[in-house]
Amino acid sequence: MAAIRSFRALRAVPDTASRVASPPYDVMNVDEARELARGEPLSFLRVSRAEIELPSETDPYADAVYVRAAENFRKIRVAAPFVTEAEPSLYCYRLQTTSHEQTGLTACYSLDEYDRGLIKRHEHTRLDKRTDRTRHLTELGAQTGLVLLTYRATAEIDALTELVCAGVPLFDFKAPDNVRHTVWRVPPADVDLLVKAFEAVSALYVADGHHRMASASLAREEFVRQRRPTVPLEADTVIATAFPHTQVRILPYNRVVQDLQKQSAREFLDQIKAKLPLRPGQPMPAKAGEVAMYLDGTWYNVRLTEFTHSVDRADALDVARLHRDILAPLLGIGDIRRDSRIDFVGGSLGVAALQERVDRGEAAVAFSMFPVTVDDLMTIADEGSIMPPKSTWFEPKLRDGLLIHLVV
């Protein structure tokens, strides 16, 4: 059973929604965020990444960042302006590109279910990022970024969603990255129907937004500890958009490594050939179990070590096999969350971005991965396992600042 609730959204008005809406806080570095917000006083990045308005040497976790975020939140609420819905509602949120479309339900989802493992996760979170978003949430008294959930599709929810989306949208705009964002308010008569339809969903899965989810749970504890009054029930839920698994798109999360650990390109190739099948090939692997590698101006296809059925499904993912076969033994890469010699490139940038990094001398070798499937994600989460870090890149991304959940 998936328990969902309608809520009184704080939201942008249609005329300025496209100016307010911003990419998620964690898909760019501070310089990229500063550039995206340049010249746009209503950009929600001024709230989600408030350090862009402070000196470049500012620690992103400094007190001043959270003070500025709260200050900018108050300013943008007036300037945009934002409005608070008169009545609780649900929203259908569609993401559309030239080749892909997905429509999900934005609602408040149960933190009790998350804490009990009924909303399943596939990724570990980092303490520094959990602490950052927890403080951001408690300073603002609001959840401003949408978690992306998925669930096994049902015909009933699909049909109800289709009916809602036949109406007039609340927001409908194309973002600078050419993703079209369309949001419909669910008519009052259909709210209870969707709530009941989700009761038949056996499990929800966190796809994108593990830190936002964990931080909402931690913020609830912090509100209790501080004895701060919260809006009844609101701090017990988290704003998220749930998409049917048939529509969620996972792109590869590719790798680049800074150096070959004092080996020549020929020595490195010889080491791989000694243990794995390797041949000149294409920039994108054709199937799971293969990885494309760009080295010294040439693309190669490498067949990773086969795994047995006794191996944990998470350990059998290509990102795990690449680490065991090449990254750790041949390149000396340890914990990929902390090793500064490795970097990660979202699949939305394409293989050209990998090739450019190597050709410019920013990296010595690049690895183009075959994407993880949604079935992989759900099966691993069902098993209670955790994927290796940086296994999935979800695209397109939901935008911050369109629909906000006030908890204080």
For the domain that residue 267 is a member of, what is the CATH number? Answer: 3.30.1760
Q: In what order do the strands lie in the sheet with 298-303?
A: 278-280, 298-303, 290-295, 365-368, 253-257, 342-346
How much is the pTM? 0.95
Q: Taking residues 114-120, what's their average pLDDT?
A: 96
Neighbours of 244 (CB within 10 A): 21
User: Do 266 and 230 lie in a common domain?
Assistant: no
What per-residue confidence (pLDDT) applies to 306? 84
What is the rounded radius of gyration, in angstroms, for the C-alpha atoms of the chain? Answer: 22
User: Do 232 and 343 lie in a common domain?
Assistant: no
> Which DSSP state fits 327?
I
- The amino acid at residue 402 is L
User: Do 201 and 271 lie in a common domain?
Assistant: no
Q: Taking residues 149-178, what's their average pLDDT?
A: 98
Nearby residues of 287 by Cβ (< 8 Å), 6 or more positions away: 370
Question: Is the separation of the CB atoms in 346 and 250 below 8 Å?
Answer: no
- The amino acid at residue 96 is Q
Q: Is residue 108 part of a domain?
A: yes
**CA gap 170, 228 in Å, rounded:** 33
* Residue 363 lies in domain: 253-370
Average per-residue pLDDT in the chain? Answer: 96
What per-residue confidence (pLDDT) applies to 311? 66
What number of CA atoms fall less than 13 Å from residue 230's CA on the CB side?
A: 25
Q: Is residue 389 part of a domain?
A: no
User: Do 158 and 21 lie in a common domain?
Assistant: yes
User: Do 272 and 184 lie in a common domain?
Assistant: no
For residue 310, name the pLDDT band (cuts at 50, 70, 90): low
What per-residue confidence (pLDDT) applies to 224? 87
Q: Taking residues 21-25, what's their average pLDDT?
A: 97
Query: Looking at the 3D structure of the chain, how many domains does it have?
Result: 2
Residue that has been written with the tokens 């988290």 in this structure? 238
Question: Is the separation of the CB atoms in 210 and 125 below 8 Å?
Answer: yes
What per-residue confidence (pLDDT) applies to 175? 97
Write the pLDDT tens digit of every residue in 64-86: 999 999 999 999 999 999 999 99
**Best CA proximity match to 140, nearest among 43, 230, 233:** 230
User: Do 181 and 265 lie in a common domain?
Assistant: no
User: Do 169 and 20 lie in a common domain?
Assistant: yes
User: Do 141 and 216 lie in a common domain?
Assistant: yes
- The amino acid at residue 37 is A
For residue 309, name the pLDDT band (cuts at 50, 70, 90): low
SS3 content of the chain, % helix, strand, coil (to 5): 35, 25, 40
Consecutive H or E run containing 351? helix 350-359
User: Do 124 and 175 lie in a common domain?
Assistant: yes
User: Do 13 and 157 lie in a common domain?
Assistant: yes
Token representation of residue 156: 């009933």
> Which DSSP state fits 147?
E
